[in-house]
């Protein structure tokens, strides 16, 4: 069974993290938060965005990037950044890989990115747009990874309440 991992490096906005947490619960994805966080995990905005799903979230926090690496040895990590030379659809996501996103104001630090060029990915955009919203970016890349893993363990068909599909 595919068990993907989303990593947020120093997230700053609780509503984004809450939305990402909800997406992780809906997809069976683990969430990893690298401190410092720009908010408290008990904040109302975080819980509101994650709604009643936050209690079901598989989430781990780390003191810093080094702590994350130490506790996840050998992890295959993809780094989502606007600075990447390839797009998020140009790589093959393993069923237990980690996809890291940086903080809203600055992204992943370049001293981390420079050593991982082959696993840096970007979402294409036009013009001088700085970036997409963090929670939207996570959803885009995560669903591509899930698609590549055939949406393993996910519901693939919906059902009407009062009617039958032909």
The per-residue pLDDT for 47 is: 64
Confidence of residue 164 (pLDDT cuts 50, 70, 90): confident
Q: Are 31 and 123 in contact (CB under 8 A)?
A: no
Nearest to 83 by CA among 63, 106, 60: 106
State the DSSP code for 155: -
**Token pair of 22, please?**
């909800």
From the number of C-beta atoms within 10 Å of its C-beta (0-12, 13-18, 19+), residue 101 rates as: buried
| Residues annotated in a binding site | 102, 123, 131
94 Cβ contact list (under 8 Å, min separation 6): 76
The per-residue pLDDT for 115 is: 94
Phi-psi bin for 17: left (phi > 0), alpha (psi -120 to 50), beta?
alpha
Dump pLDDT digits (tens) for 95-154: 999 999 999 999 999 999 999 999 999 999 998 888 999 999 999 999 999 999 999 888
Domains, in order of start, for the chain: 5-148 (3.40.1280.10)
The per-residue pLDDT for 45 is: 60
**Token pair of 165, please?**
């599909």
Dump pLDDT digits (tens) for 31-59: 999 999 988 877 666 666 556 777 899 99
The per-residue pLDDT for 37 is: 92
Tell me which of 160 and 65 has the higher pLDDT: 65
- Average pLDDT score over residue span 82-103: 96
| Residues annotated in a binding site for S-adenosyl-L-methionine | 102, 123, 131
Dump pLDDT digits (tens) for 9-39: 999 998 899 899 999 999 999 999 999 998 8
- Average pLDDT score over residue span 58-63: 96
The per-residue pLDDT for 122 is: 97
3-state secondary structure of 118: helix
């Amino acid at each position: 069974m595919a068990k993907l991992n989303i990593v947020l490096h120093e997230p700053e906005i609780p509503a984004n993290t809450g939305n990402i947490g909800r997406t992780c619960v809906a997809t069976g994805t683990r969430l990893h938060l690298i401190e410092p966080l720009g908010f408290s995990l008990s904040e109302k905005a975080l819980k509101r965005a994650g709604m009643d799903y936050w209690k079901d979230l598989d989430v781990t926090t780390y003191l810093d990037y080094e702590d994350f690496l130490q506790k996840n040895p050998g992890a295959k990590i993809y780094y989502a950044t606007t600075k990447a030379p390839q797009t998020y659809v140009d790589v093959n996501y393993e069923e237990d890989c980690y996809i890291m996103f940086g903080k809203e104001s600055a992204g992943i630090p370049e001293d981390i990115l420079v050593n991982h060029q082959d696993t840096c990915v970007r979402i294409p955009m036009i013009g001088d747009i700085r970036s997409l919203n963090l929670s939207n970016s996570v959803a885009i890349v995560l669903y591509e990874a899930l698609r590549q893993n055939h949406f393993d363990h996910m519901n693939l068909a919906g059902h009407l309440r009062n009617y039958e599909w032909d």
